[in-house]
Structure 1
Amino acid sequence: MTGCIRITRLLSGVLGFAGCSIGDATPIVATRPGPPPVDLGSAANYAILAKSGISAIPFSLIVGDIGISPATESLMTGFSQTRVIAYSTSQQVTGFMYAADMAAPTPAKMGAAIVDMETAYADAAGRECPDHLDDFSGLLGGNLLLPGLYKWNTRVLVMSDVTVSGGVDDLWVFQISGDLVVNYAVNFILAGGAQPKNIFWQVAGTVTLGTASRVEGIILCKTSITLNTGARINGRAFAQTSVALDKAIVTEPALQLA
């Protein structure tokens, strides 16, 4: 089981499984490490990756590179980009834009990045033994999220600000079986040194960020990601269909550790 380590409780001389109680004995020790990081591979070189398209309503801003495959550059819309052989540039993208129909070595590079994106999604989705299961019935707001593996068998609706608190090396993996919806002007707040590069959102449904909202972390989405007007991601947006920005911002985090 990937990333699943349970330390048993010592109960008055009786060894029991973590999370279980034997009689009225008092646990002496119960501990569990946080999840290991999700390896992004070459996908870590991009702020946005998608398979079928990336669209922007100006003026959006992407800090980092973006890429699509197997879709072609014609499906990167709203950027008014300029082709430079193996990549394109845009005033809305601080890095480069890549697509499957550009000159070599871009097609192979993009193909590898998409495979790595899908592998990362499968890794995050396959994590077992969650520390938290269906917390708050999928309705978040005013919560404090400590490091660990969280799983929801429903959609997750974020109604008001949420704090993600932990150290600089702590990790969070959020598994969501349905959609992720972040309401208008809702923010994820980092505390205690928590870093966006260590927060992973695995979403089987769609991701919708409301106007002026802000999400921290790397979004691995099975379908589409939509950032409404003024929404922001401090992290990465990886979608297995499309990513749409409406005067929105995506800022890649510090480089992933090897």
Structure 2
Amino acid sequence: MTNINFSRLWGNAGRLWMGVIAAVALVVGVLVTLTEGASATRPVDIGDAESYGVVAGVSVNNTNLTTVTGDLGISPAKTLTGFPPGTINGDRQLGNATAAAVKADVVAAYNDIAGRTADATVAAQLGGTTKGPGLYDSAGGGFAINGTLVLDAQGDPDAIFIFRADTLTTTRVSNISLVRGAQADNVFWQLSDTASLGIYSTFRGNVLAQRTVTVNFGASVDGRIFSLNGSVNTTGTDSIPATHIAIPNDPPTATTLTSSRNPSQRGQPVTFTATVVAVSGQLIPAGEVVFKDGSTALGSVFLNRTGRAVFTTSSLDRGQHRIVAVYLGGDTFDHEAMIHHAPSKSDPVLQIIN
């Protein structure tokens, strides 16, 4: 679950409301029955562009304080302005062979999406809606986000979301909320024209636009900004926090699964315990774990304060069952900082029911 970043505006009060609103979003994600989208949407390969926060064809231009966490590339041109005062926490590849190769991978990803068949055509206004996995075309030619767009992976951290349109416009303080395993790495915005991300907006996903992409004052981007044949223009802030573009880099986790009794008798309760730990550091992950029998979800439980989720069932039929626990990722407070842990899946437990 990923929370709305109101703390950039409201300080401690924002952080309080952030938790309340995120909890409501999660409940909505659990209860809503979606008819749009398709869970089988295949991944999008961006190749060597994976480490790049910004790629442009013509130029990258910045004013004031903007931070790019990730590499930056420009091809075939090489015009870079406004860094400093902006900062780039990564390599700069400007008009060289490396930039050309990265740009080619972005173009290939764009063309891959362009050649796919949409799962649904939806209204241009995405704010106030919840979308499941799938490829969405815009009924109006462009997409807009006014308010919050909730992307619900429905318990699958590998779920892919693709939005395809001419343009994308997000309004001031708009937000994209990722729930039930949705990952910014798996969200793509393919645009035949331009994109504009609003003042203090919170944006998640990868923008692949043909023309100019504008990132406005105070916007926070968890993803990547690619302009194939245009420029990326960023307006930084006058003070910290800066306008921010960062490639997704959630701390990895590991999930293990045990069974209370194996083999067991049909109708006899069996308890499965999933334990989720951070690969590094002492912070205990929080969030939801889905227990699956093959591809069938048996149920879900939230981690307790020790990082364990306990699920009991007596509904398994006779035979062998490959049970896995899927941690969907989640937010944990580290003092005042919010850490979003990456999802992980356990090795299967072969449960035998006699």
2:105 matches 1:99: no
What residue number does 1:42 align with? 48
Aligned CA distance change for structure 1 residues 91 and 139 (closer, same or farther; 3 Å): closer
AA in 2 matched with 1:214: T
Aligned equivalents of 1:92, 1:149: Cα separation in 2: 34
What residue number does 2:138 align with? 152
Aligned CA distance change for structure 1 residues 91 and 185 (closer, same or farther; 3 Å): closer
What residue number does 2:245 align with? 250
What residue number does 1:222 align with? 210
Unaligned runs of 5+ residues in structure 2 are: 1-36, 237-242, 251-354
Q: Sequence identity of aligned pairs in percent?
A: 31
2:101 matches 1:112: yes
| Cα pair 1:203 1:221 within 8 Å, conserved | yes
- Runs of 4+ aligned residues of structure 1 deviating over 6 Å after TM superposition are none
| Cα pair 1:57 1:245 within 8 Å, conserved | yes
Aligned equivalents of 2:38, 2:66: Cα separation in 1: 41
TM-score, reference length from structure 1:
0.75
- Give the SS at the match of 1:175: strand
Aligned CA distance change for structure 1 residues 91 and 221 (closer, same or farther; 3 Å): closer
2:162 matches 1:173: yes
- 1:192 counterpart (176, 180, 204): 180
**Cα shift at 1:121:** 0.6
What residue number does 1:3 align with? none
What residue number does 1:21 align with? none
**Cα shift at 1:152:** 1.4
2:190 matches 1:202: yes
Aligned equivalents of 2:103, 2:211: Cα separation in 1: 14
Higher RCO (CA-CA < 8 Å; seq separation 6+): 1
Unaligned runs of 5+ residues in structure 1 are: 1-30, 81-89, 101-106
2:157 matches 1:162: no
Q: How many residue pairs are counted as aligned between the two chains?
A: 204
**Cα shift at 1:33:** 4.1
**Cα shift at 1:158:** 1.3
- Give the SS at the match of 2:90: strand
**Cα shift at 1:59:** 0.6
| Cα pair 2:62 2:86 within 8 Å, conserved | no
CA RMSD, Structure 1 to Structure 2 (Å): 1.7
